[in-house]
Amino acid sequence: MPLVSMRQLLDEAAKGGYGVGAFNVNNMEQIQSIMEAARETQSPVIIQASRGARAYSQDRFLYHLMLAATELYPEIPTVLHLDHGNSPETCQSAIDMGFTSVMMDGSLMPDGKTPSSFEYNVEATRKVVEAAHAKGVTVEGEIGCLGGIEDGHGAGGDGLSHLTDPDQAVEFVKATGVDALAIAIGTSHGAYKFTSKPTGETLKMETLIAIHKRLPTTHLVMHGSSSVPKELQDIINQFGGKLKPTWGVPVEEIQLGIRNGVRKINVDTDNRLAITGAIRKVFMEKPEEFDPRSYMKPAREAMKKVVAQRMTQFGQAGHAKDYAPIPLTEMVKRYQSETVAV
């Protein structure tokens, strides 16, 4: 089946009361890991690419790999989503290439670092909604800023500096018409999110619940949602890595979020850890090896295992065949006639 809109997946997830993992990719092996995990667990999938990923893969390689994924896994509803678009122009280039969903992260200025004003965020996001919906493409916006910096993207600091204000979230959704809303509740991108297991002081699930109460039909998105499992940290360190002790977002907290309107959960770091651990293991245990397949195969398998586990934990497993894909042309008509509620 062709790539589908993220709006359809999230609407279905809301009906079924489950969440959908959105996994970052940069190359063929990561796409293969996700698609294999989706087939094994019978899950719909969101595959996302950051600006860095698009630059790394020269865009077209990534796009054609995604077309290969839809050919080889025709039974899996698959979304191609732009992660953290930094400007309307970046979002437009993704729409033009065939992404079926884009994130306009107007919580930061186009430099991807400086927190923006509410007015700027509304203006930039509204512009993207207009252009995207005219093509049936889904839009995710963000209000509040995450902590940390990944590949030059992020407001820095801890996750508590720019939390989402629930009233502003309501105003933002109304003013922009976004399909999904990313919120800041104390998480950060990358491996170093919390210095101990998070509590209500550091991971503000109460804020999430307050936002959901005010916006009960808005699909909420949790960024920075890797759990950074100790087992994955240990494998890296056992085979020569130097990760400092760190804590991620416990899966139970994500599940609490899913019971309170979270429909999209962004995970990148856990997969990076799994891949790195598997490669380090081969390098240490078989120093005579030099065929990239000797370490890329276990790396691909390690990522598949993490993704399949998350798909089961988020509840999307078993839902791949629940619904027929809606073509983007039909999504355009629905946006025009406002039968897609915003």
Looking at the annotation, which residues are catalytic? Answer: 83
Q: Spell out the SS3 assignment of 244-258.
A: CCCECCCHHHHHHHH
Task: Output the smallest distance, CB 40 to ligand 13P, in A.
Answer: 21
Distance CA 35, CA 27 (A): 13
Q: From residue 22 to residue 61, what is the string marking binding to ligand 13P with x (rule CB under 6 A)? A: --x-------------------------------------
Tokens of 73: 């896994």
**Helix (H/G/I), strand (E/B), else coil: 310:** helix
Chosen residue from 126, 153, 219, 264 binding ligand G3H by CB under 6 A: 153
Per CB under 6 A, does 59 bind ligand G3H?
no
User: Of the ranges 107-115, 118-126, 152-160, 218-226, which one interacts with Zn ion (CB under 5 A)?
Assistant: 218-226
**Helix (H/G/I), strand (E/B), else coil: 183:** strand
Compare residues 24 and 138 and give the one whose CB is closer to ligand 13P. Answer: 24
Per DSSP, 83 falls in state E
User: Of the ranges 85-93, 260-268, 289-297, 323-331, which one interacts with ligand 13P (CB under 6 A)?
Assistant: 260-268
Per CB under 6 A, does 310 bind ligand G3H?
no
H-helix or E-strand spanning residue 32: helix 28-41
Per CB under 5 A, does 51 bind Zn ion?
no
Q: Name the residue with the smallest CB distance to ligand G3H.
A: 151
Chosen residue from 268, 278, 314, 340 binding ligand G3H by CB under 6 A: 268
Q: For residue 151, which amino acid is it? A: D
Distance CA 35, CA 8 (A): 19
Per CB under 5 A, does 223 bind Zn ion?
yes
Tokens 């940069």: give the residue: 26
Report CA 200 to chain centroid distance, whole Å. 23
Tokens of 314: 């988020």
Chosen residue from 11, 12, 83, 253 binding ligand G3H by CB under 6 A: 83
Bridge partners (DSSP) of residue 145 are 162
Task: Output the smallest distance, CB 180 to ligand 13P, in A.
Answer: 13
Binding site for ligand 13P (CB under 6 A): 24, 83-84, 189-190, 223-226, 266-269
